[in-house]
Structure 1
Amino acid sequence: MRETLAKWVSDAGALYHVERFGFSQPPSQLSYLRSRGDDYYISLVGELFDRLHEPYNDSVDWSQLGNAITQAGGVGVDQAPVYRGILEPEAAVLAAAAFYFGGYSASAYLTLKATDPGALSEMQRACYELLARPSTITSARVSTLVGAVRRGNLDAIQAQSEEAAEREAFALKSAPDEWVGWRLFRRILSRFQETNIRAVLPDGDSEFWDSLVRSLLNRDPPVWDFFPSQIDAIRSGLLGGATSFSIQMPTGAGKTALSETLLYYHLKRHPEDVAILLVPYRSLAAELRGSLVKRLGRMGLPARCAYGGTVPTRDEVQDFDDMRALVATPEALSGLLSAEPNLFARVSLVICDEGHLLDSGARGVGLELLLARMRAREIGPPKFVFVSAIVPNIEEINTWLDGTDETVVRSDYRPALAEFAVLRVSGTNTRTMVSLQIHPHQDASTFSIENFLSRDDFRYRSASTGRLNTYSFNSMKTQAIAAARKALSMGPVAVFAANKRGNQGAVGLANELLAQLESPLPMPAPMQFVEDGAKLQAAVEYFTLEYGASWVGTRALAAGAVLHHGDIPQETREVVEALVRREDVRLAICTNTLAEGVNLPIRTLVLYSVQRCGPDGAAENLLARDIKNLVGRAGRAGATTKGLVICANPGQWPLVAPVAQQQPGERVSGALLELMRRLQSALSQQSLTLTNDILEGVTALHTLIDGIDATLIDLAAEELGEDELVRIAGELSSQTFAARQAEPATTALMKQVFELRAQRVAAIKGAGRLGWIRETGTRARMLESVEAKLLPMRERWDDIEAATDPELVEALLTWAWDLPEMAEAVKEAYRGVPPTRSDFTRVLEAWIDGQPLIELARRASIDIDAMLGVHARVISYVLQVAVEQGVGLLKKLLEADDRELAQAVADFPEHLRFGVPTAAARVLAAGGLRHRRAAVALGRSPELGTLVDRSAVFPTARHLLDDRERWLPSMGRLVLENTLEDLRDPSVSDDQE
């Protein structure tokens, strides 16, 4: 782009922000744009047609041109075009074309989404439909093209292209106006010819792809072509062969669609095999359950989702012989592989999404050992596809996974670009002024909106006194929330805090928003952007029933904003995410649980803090790669053509600037290596000799030894003696990613750890109990505790009739209470003041009785925020894992002694997992009802009574919900509507009855 035009575009972008932030008078240096709008627009259109002949080398230039034409033409916003002689639909087509030429097909679609094509000429209409992908196509040419893609007739697309070239040449000589339309159409068609899904897929015109192509074409919006990042990966040979691949793709660049394509290809080519998509978070697994899993099933590839506990439920292991694709978290997959050895042997493809989480504490240790376990498989490793947006040393990981130099794909393509800005404070007290410096990392285009926040934004008249007051705005927290409010007019906004609770965490930000809204400040309020008040009110009712009306999350939602962090239960997070995804609510206050993993239409991301408070209270900087992953959420394909990232703390801008400048982040070395180094240091400082008792007594090492044990148990064939198993363990330790990087002393220690665990596994094998571990998917380290402490808790285990029997709850909790991981979790969740066991029992009984969390908080005499932490850390994780492991091994111990375990005891772990009091409620929750409240209410009904067979429970539940008025008081509108939807979904019930 010419330098003068680039300056013009930069100034126009600054003016756009000035206007969208509510300033009626532009700065004097930008006023020339108002009087020269026609020159500006004509220059942009001229640039577009010049570049049809001589395209940009950098796709970002196309995006900048598309955004410039969008703004100049008043496309999609409530403002007039800068040039009165242009029609908005024409400008939209030209802007969309610019996006499309740069590979930004999602931005092209979005640009035309709200455009009325009625005023367009025939050829403009063809251009419009080729880019907008409307549900009803009126252009015969576009209809022919889409039909050709559907049928795999690439020759028909070639014929269309040749005809368009001829018509363009003819029009140039006879009808210049027509030439404009034909010229644009031919260039769009030329790109479509290269990027349409059939053209990119290998042998794309074959019938092999018909099911996938139909699925892509029938979506809303339909997928007609691939992104450049996806094209690079497919044309690099990703789909074929057994060699592992590693892919670096920015957030939002189409990883999910690429994974779906790979799963389809692999499973169709290998009809007896299973493919696995590993995802790090339950939230992402839940999202994919409702999208990718269902789509694969409709394509004839039965898929499942597993993201519960470490021991699989009956529903999770049901019909595994027919299952072809599995979406799972590493923890859930580890349990499934142990419980279903036949599944392990059938796996021939593993896609590891968000692979940079190898560095993420216990999760990273578990992931690395799981991948090492698969690499050590006796029949050979599966094909790995390692995917991440932010791993600069991805080649090293690819080599570890047996990839080659040719199987690394890097892409810097982002379907929606992000701009950066930082708040700058000047003056003090009443003279304080906050400017917004846009592009602070680009000297040539840096621009400041002065008085972005000033005293006038915080002055209001008191309703009680009639006097003018000023809301104090000296804190960065106040400024961050105010900046977010001003950005609401541009689209959805997320305010990120590195911590959950406390005055400086997400909870503190939510309280700040509420405090601001109590005063009538002259700034946009979240409720102004809520279009469906009834839908919001239904969600508020749900929050009130579960968490109480006074909880900050409930009050924030009532004000039109959502609070989202890791302690909030999964079902509630899904409610919140749905509100943001549909843009029913535009403002989110979150930690990385919302900003990472799930796909949401965030237009502006306000970084309140990129430092988190560590366990010792000291500030810890977020890594550059973590910040990069965060800012990748600003600007989502199909939701916005670009995003804005605002750093609210100017003192932390140096942490954000490298990301804005596209500098590489920190290398990934893996949490396993870090853990081994810390263990090495601790042993040296305390002059200890490492033993299995030490390994099993330190909770921080449990993920390490559990992962090693699971791998060794897989390898411990009947004929292997202890010496041979120890030798194999030593060799296995050298196969980890950590071993490739560690110093000799650390490598030796890691080998020692593996050999110690081999000795433990060999002892279990010698006692004839290894099969128990395999069959139950439990952890080897739990066996001794279950045998010595849990088993003797009761003289008989076959006389319990109800899973909710208080004596059973007491016995299991008494055993679990003394486990070191339980003691540590309770201390942490209760913030150093743990309750007595009897006090905790009252809370646990309320959970199993189906009581809402607000009632649990009342029984525990703690606030709801603290109870959320107790529920997340203790009840639904540490205690749940311990109980499901303990009951699994208890059954085997009893069977070995010709004794029986009551079915009620075997059912208890699921009652604990779902927090339900009856058998029918357990069946409903395990079968897929997303809301606990619905399972509890229906499960208590006399009609369901003691029913336990899902083929009877689900039809009865559907029939009961015909009387909606009966259930509305106990469920509330949101839960009732979602439950009706769940029970209509065949994947929840019918296919498993």
Structure 2
Amino acid sequence: MTNTLNVWIAESESWQSFIDFQLPVTKQAEYTFLPNIDYFYISVMNNALNIIEDEIISAEAQKECLALAKALEIFSLENKRDHFSGINRELNMLFTAGLYYLSDYPSSSWILSNLYPPNMYSENIQIFISCFLSRKLDRKNIYCRYLIEYLKTGDIQQIESLIMAFKKKAEYYFGENIIIYFSYSLGLSLMKKFSKNNLWHDLLVQNDNKSFWKPFIKRNIDKAFPIWTFFPSQREALDKGILTNNTTTLQMPTSSGKSSLNELIIYNECKTNSEAKILYLAPFRALASELKNSIAKDLSSLGIKSKTIYGGNFPTPDEQKSISEVNLLIATPEKFLVFENSIPESLKEFSLVICDEGHLLEDRQRGLSYELLLTRLKSRKQSSIRFVFISAIVPNLGIINTWLGGVENSSIHSDYRPTHLDFAFLEEMRGKKRGYYLDVNPTLKYPQRYKLYKYLFDEELVLTQPGKKKKIDTNAGRSVAVSLKAIKSGNVALFAPHKRGNIGVEYLVKEALSQLSYYEENPLIKFASEEFLNNLVSYFSKIFGKEYLLTKSIAQGFLFHHGDFPQGIREIIEDSLRNGYIRLVICTNTLAEGVNLPIKTMVLHSIDRFNPKLPTKYEPIQLRDLKNLIGRAGKETKGLIIIPNKKDFERIKLLIKDNNYEPIKGALYNLVKELTDIIVKERILLSDETIEEADESIQKLIDSIDLSIVDLLSEEFDITDFEKLIKDLLVATLSYTQLNTEEKNTLNSLFEIRGEKIKSLIQNGNFKYLKKSGATYRLFIEINDKIDFQDEIWQKQLDPLDTDWLSYILDTVLFNLDQYETELEEFLENNKKLQLCNDDIKEVIKMWIKGNWYSEISAGLKIEVYQSLRLINSFLSFNVHRMISTIIKIAEIRIEDNLLPNSILVWPSLLQFGLSNELQLDILNMGLIDREAVLGLSSALYGAGYRHSDYESLREYLVANGNQLISQMDSNIPNISLEKINSFISVLQNRFLL
């Protein structure tokens, strides 16, 4: 292509953004391609014709093809096409979508081709191309019938017949009809590419057995978004042996086909061995939940049974039973470790372990469990386990691969993204009037780098209403204004690193509400129906109250998302965005925890994170984490990352350059490094005495060391080999290979000192109790010293709110634990505006189990809703729940002669989820996680005369009578919860989802 054409194509991309953001028309004259639009279009078409006449294989040819596609799309897209005349929009879009497909962007091709359905074309070849690209084949079309047969049978002769036919037709129409000639040439190029790049072709290369792959291919072509081909990243993984028996590590960007690839890996494993057991580790609860509703559902249609487990400290009876019945177990690492500790004999059968979001090996909260679990699994001698380790960003992928036992060529790295990302810096304009422009692609040269002037300008920076005025002159104000402007082009996520504070989510929410109050017409509410908004307002009002920020924000057409919300609320927010009901979400990184959402633009309010240990109190977010975060952006053909604050520009430039990413360290490495730094700084000589006398910050680190030793050990081993076993397992961790000599000495000393503590429990027979309890050594010793497990209350069948039980488990037991006092003090210190005593905690527990919501609890304690959220979802559901679960688990295994009453065994779960009986708990464990829905369905069951006996009977009753129950639901149940119940009943009727 000529230099002029290259400039014009780059300008056309800039012009698209200009139109999307509805910038002042006075700046349109600066686009030089517009006065030459006819010549521009003819040049692009000529180049397109030339390029499709040859096979588009090289990276350079694909890059040119993509540029031509981007140039053509403006003539057919809404809001842009009306600027041009004399061009057939339908045919132009057909050619555009075809070029996107040939450039290896099939998703973009599918989206664009569906904008103009096949019935808008007159020629058979054009109808066929439209059907092919939109994946909606029509048997009435003669060419489609060949493709239908090929997709059904894998008979390559069908495609070869099309290639021959199109070649002859193209030769015939050459010189006769340029449009039809171009159509057949495009069809020929598409079929040549498709013949060597489709599911049948690529899978038969792996295993030349059509009957083996037929169910999998049929399932994929029947999906709502039909899959006929693999992405380049997926093909590379296939070529490098992802389906072999080798351990494999894979780095591929977000949204580049990881889920489909995992489906294929699981299908291949189960098809090869019908008795196969696969463990899918998902470090986030949100990811585990999404996998249950995506991969697990898809695989169920192929006869593959699955179970998803996350949350709770100990396995439920249903979870224990179902493990032996499934092929696929989806679990968080923490939950799987609980299973290993409780029922190790049933978990030795896994032959394949998929490690998703592998970069979280370093995560402070989740990483230790992840690293120790993988160390345990890979150290097993009973069976050979194959690992598939997947992450969007692992700079030291080869080291991870070697650690897990992979061979030299089994480490796979792909940079392919199905959508392109642009970056833009918000810069201040010079002049008398205040204004800002977007400097797009600031690290590139003209014309790829361009400026969108007057992005925010004049009246957009001074909002007015009769009698009041608001200036947009703060960082938060600019971030919100930028986001509200960006909704014109698609969904927007405004990222903040914290929940509260002046760089926090809720601060930005208040700013957004303030700015929207000045708008004559709210631009956000038009994307959702009035019914949807009213349903959510009603739902959130019941849970949080009318004055809570989330209730106020949805009334204005946007939502926010952070870690204080329970999983059910998070999913409602995610579904609202996914289904196109809202255009703006303000969020922390919780929204990016493994969940794929349609975000067109991401605005980064700040890339600094609070760290009280530093003199400055803030530190930059790691580039690796930022890379993973921005990977969530990109919808249709491209995404945009906007950085509104100048202080972040230089660090973002490092991110754009795509290097200098921090390597992944094991979580144990970070733990030991922190301890070593403290030991050196404070000149501590490690010994049993100095550890016992250390302050709480060090004690917490020691707790993690103790847990590491316990988690690395199996329940039964020869005590004479204790020291050697500990050393061998320690050396087998990822962290040990990454520590320097001084840090290794620290770790060895700690394991030796703390190992003696653990060894004493082995010698007196208490180790098995510690192992099964999941407690730290410190908590285990305190519980055993302070609690009388012979008290008669342990044998009573009790109501969950029984006065004697609450007095015993809370007043006598929990409130007298040093660990509880320490954790309550820490919680109150981190929430300085809260002043609570044990009586308050007890009252909250009673209200929560009775079914009260955050709004009612806040009113009862005279605290803010956000405080009750943190109190319940953090302190009660994590700290208190963990300690009480541990106490009851120790009681269960200590009192061997008599089984504990079920009312006591389930009490920690009733506390965690705010439920009052076993019926509600069984409903929740079946998969209905919306608490309001659980309460409503249990009430309907009692109203229908159902008497609860056990989990399986309940499941059978719901499958048989679920639809009738829904029709008899209380009219006070929110519509959102009714929809959740409907979906829940539908899932229950699928016998392959347990």
Q: TM-score range, shorter-chain basis? A: over 0.9
Q: Quick check: 937-946 or 453-462, which moved more?
A: 937-946
C-alpha change, 1:529 and 1:24, in structure 2 (3 Å) is farther
Q: Quick check: 94-103 or 822-831, which moved more?
A: 822-831
Aligned: 1:6 with 2:6: yes
Aligned to 2:233: 229
Q: Measure the CA separation in 2 of the matches of 1:519 and 1:53.
A: 56
C-alpha change, 1:480 and 1:545, in structure 2 (3 Å) is same
Aligned: 1:270 with 2:267: no
Q: Quick check: 268-277 or 415-424, which moved more?
A: 268-277
> Matched residue of 2:410: which SS?
strand
Task: Please say if residues 306 and 992 of structure 2, whose CA atoms lie closer than 8 Å, have aligned partners that are also in contact.
Answer: no
Aligned to 1:240: 244
Q: Measure the CA separation in 2 of the matches of 1:643 and 1:389.
A: 17
Aligned to 2:730: 733
C-alpha change, 1:473 and 1:152, in structure 2 (3 Å) is same
1:626-641 equivalences under 5 Å are 626-636=625-635, 640-641=636-637
Aligned to 1:321: 324
Q: Measure the CA separation in 1 of the matches of 2:223 and 2:693.
A: 55
Q: Measure the CA separation in 2 of the matches of 1:528 and 1:388.
A: 37
Code of the aligned partner of 2:851: G
Aligned: 1:849 with 2:850: yes
Aligned to 2:200: 198
How far is 1:521 from its partner?
5.9
Code of the aligned partner of 1:526: L
Aligned: 1:669 with 2:661: no
How far is 1:977 from its partner?
2.0
Aligned to 1:85: 86
Q: Measure the CA separation in 1 of the matches of 2:136 and 2:992.
A: 34
Task: Please say if residues 98 and 190 of structure 2, whose CA atoms lie closer than 8 Å, have aligned partners that are also in contact.
Answer: yes
How far is 1:562 from its partner?
0.9
Q: Measure the CA separation in 2 of the matches of 1:504 and 1:757.
A: 41
Aligned to 2:21: 21
Aligned to 2:543: 546
> Matched residue of 2:248: which SS?
strand
Q: Quick check: 965-974 or 40-49, which moved more?
A: 965-974
How far is 1:566 from its partner?
0.8
Q: Measure the CA separation in 1 of the matches of 2:519 and 2:670.
A: 51
Q: Quick check: 595-604 or 675-684, which moved more?
A: 675-684
C-alpha change, 1:654 and 1:143, in structure 2 (3 Å) is farther
Q: Measure the CA separation in 2 of the matches of 1:858 and 1:525.
A: 34
How far is 1:181 from its partner?
1.7
C-alpha change, 1:781 and 1:275, in structure 2 (3 Å) is farther
Task: Please say if residues 318 and 951 of structure 2, whose CA atoms lie closer than 8 Å, have aligned partners that are also in contact.
Answer: no
1:450-461 equivalences under 5 Å are 450-459=453-462
Code of the aligned partner of 2:151: V
1:632-711 equivalences under 5 Å are 632-636=631-635, 640-684=636-680, 685-691=682-688, 698-711=699-712
How far is 1:846 from its partner?
1.2
Q: Measure the CA separation in 2 of the matches of 1:658 and 1:146.
A: 48
Code of the aligned partner of 1:708: I
Task: Please say if residues 148 and 156 of structure 1, whose CA atoms lie closer than 8 Å, have aligned partners that are also in contact.
Answer: yes
1:706-785 equivalences under 5 Å are 706-714=707-715, 716-717=716-717, 720-721=718-719, 723-772=720-769, 782-785=779-782
Structure 1 vs Structure 2 CA RMSD: 2.7
How far is 1:990 from its partner?
9.9
Aligned to 2:985: 983
Task: Please say if residues 16 and 80 of structure 2, whose CA atoms lie closer than 8 Å, have aligned partners that are also in contact.
Answer: no
| Structure 2 residue corresponding to 1:252, chosen from 248, 255, 267 | 255
> Matched residue of 1:584: which SS?
coil
Q: Measure the CA separation in 2 of the matches of 1:342 and 1:311.
A: 16
Aligned to 2:51: 51
Aligned to 1:860: 861
Deviation by residue 1:156-198 (Cα, 9 ceiling, x = unmatched): 3334334433443444376654332221011111111122111
Q: Measure the CA separation in 1 of the matches of 2:965 and 2:382.
A: 55
Aligned to 2:498: 499
Q: Measure the CA separation in 2 of the matches of 1:831 and 1:278.
A: 36
Q: Measure the CA separation in 2 of the matches of 1:450 and 1:176.
A: 40
C-alpha change, 1:567 and 1:366, in structure 2 (3 Å) is same
Q: Measure the CA separation in 2 of the matches of 1:384 and 1:567.
A: 33
1:363-512 equivalences under 5 Å are 363-426=366-429, 431-444=433-446, 445-459=448-462, 462-463=465-466, 465=467, 470-512=469-511
Task: Please say if residues 810 and 841 of structure 1, whose CA atoms lie closer than 8 Å, have aligned partners that are also in contact.
Answer: no
Code of the aligned partner of 1:767: N
Q: Measure the CA separation in 2 of the matches of 1:799 and 1:365.
A: 38
Aligned: 1:220 with 2:224: yes
Aligned: 1:30 with 2:25: no
| Structure 1 residue corresponding to 2:284, chosen from 281, 286, 298 | 281
Q: Quick check: 246-255 or 24-33, which moved more?
A: 24-33
How far is 1:458 from its partner?
4.3
Q: Measure the CA separation in 2 of the matches of 1:391 and 1:727.
A: 32
Aligned: 1:588 with 2:585: yes
> Matched residue of 2:559: which SS?
strand
Code of the aligned partner of 2:739: A
Q: Measure the CA separation in 1 of the matches of 2:661 and 2:39.
A: 42
Aligned to 1:335: 338
Aligned to 2:929: 930
> Matched residue of 1:322: which SS?
coil
Relative to the length of structure 1, the TM-score reads 0.93
Task: Please say if residues 885 and 908 of structure 2, whose CA atoms lie closer than 8 Å, have aligned partners that are also in contact.
Answer: yes
C-alpha change, 1:778 and 1:147, in structure 2 (3 Å) is farther
Q: Measure the CA separation in 1 of the matches of 2:341 and 2:952.
A: 28
Code of the aligned partner of 1:873: S
Task: Please say if residues 568 and 930 of structure 2, whose CA atoms lie closer than 8 Å, have aligned partners that are also in contact.
Answer: yes
Deviation by residue 1:930-960 (Cα, 9 ceiling, x = unmatched): 2111222343445467624234445666858
C-alpha change, 1:337 and 1:167, in structure 2 (3 Å) is farther
Task: Please say if residues 566 and 593 of structure 1, whose CA atoms lie closer than 8 Å, have aligned partners that are also in contact.
Answer: yes
Q: Measure the CA separation in 2 of the matches of 1:984 and 1:912.
A: 28
> Matched residue of 2:641: which SS?
strand
Task: Please say if residues 167 and 188 of structure 2, whose CA atoms lie closer than 8 Å, have aligned partners that are also in contact.
Answer: yes
Q: Measure the CA separation in 1 of the matches of 2:120 and 2:947.
A: 65
Code of the aligned partner of 2:68: L
C-alpha change, 1:865 and 1:284, in structure 2 (3 Å) is same
Task: Please say if residues 274 and 347 of structure 1, whose CA atoms lie closer than 8 Å, have aligned partners that are also in contact.
Answer: yes
C-alpha change, 1:686 and 1:857, in structure 2 (3 Å) is farther
Q: Quick check: 505-514 or 168-177, which moved more?
A: 168-177
Code of the aligned partner of 2:22: G
Aligned: 1:112 with 2:150: no
C-alpha change, 1:824 and 1:344, in structure 2 (3 Å) is farther
How far is 1:355 from its partner?
1.0
Aligned to 1:622: 621
| Structure 2 residues without counterparts, runs of 5 or longer | none
Code of the aligned partner of 1:126: F
C-alpha change, 1:299 and 1:761, in structure 2 (3 Å) is farther
C-alpha change, 1:964 and 1:470, in structure 2 (3 Å) is same
Q: Quick check: 551-560 or 336-345, which moved more?
A: 336-345
Code of the aligned partner of 1:187: S
> Matched residue of 2:299: which SS?
helix
Task: Please say if residues 153 and 205 of structure 1, whose CA atoms lie closer than 8 Å, have aligned partners that are also in contact.
Answer: no
Q: Measure the CA separation in 2 of the matches of 1:397 and 1:952.
A: 46
C-alpha change, 1:945 and 1:117, in structure 2 (3 Å) is closer
Aligned to 2:523: 525
Q: Measure the CA separation in 1 of the matches of 2:367 and 2:191.
A: 45
C-alpha change, 1:828 and 1:332, in structure 2 (3 Å) is farther
> Matched residue of 1:645: which SS?
strand
> Matched residue of 1:579: which SS?
helix
Aligned to 1:876: 877
Aligned to 1:970: 972
Q: Quick check: 378-387 or 192-201, which moved more?
A: 378-387
Code of the aligned partner of 1:949: D
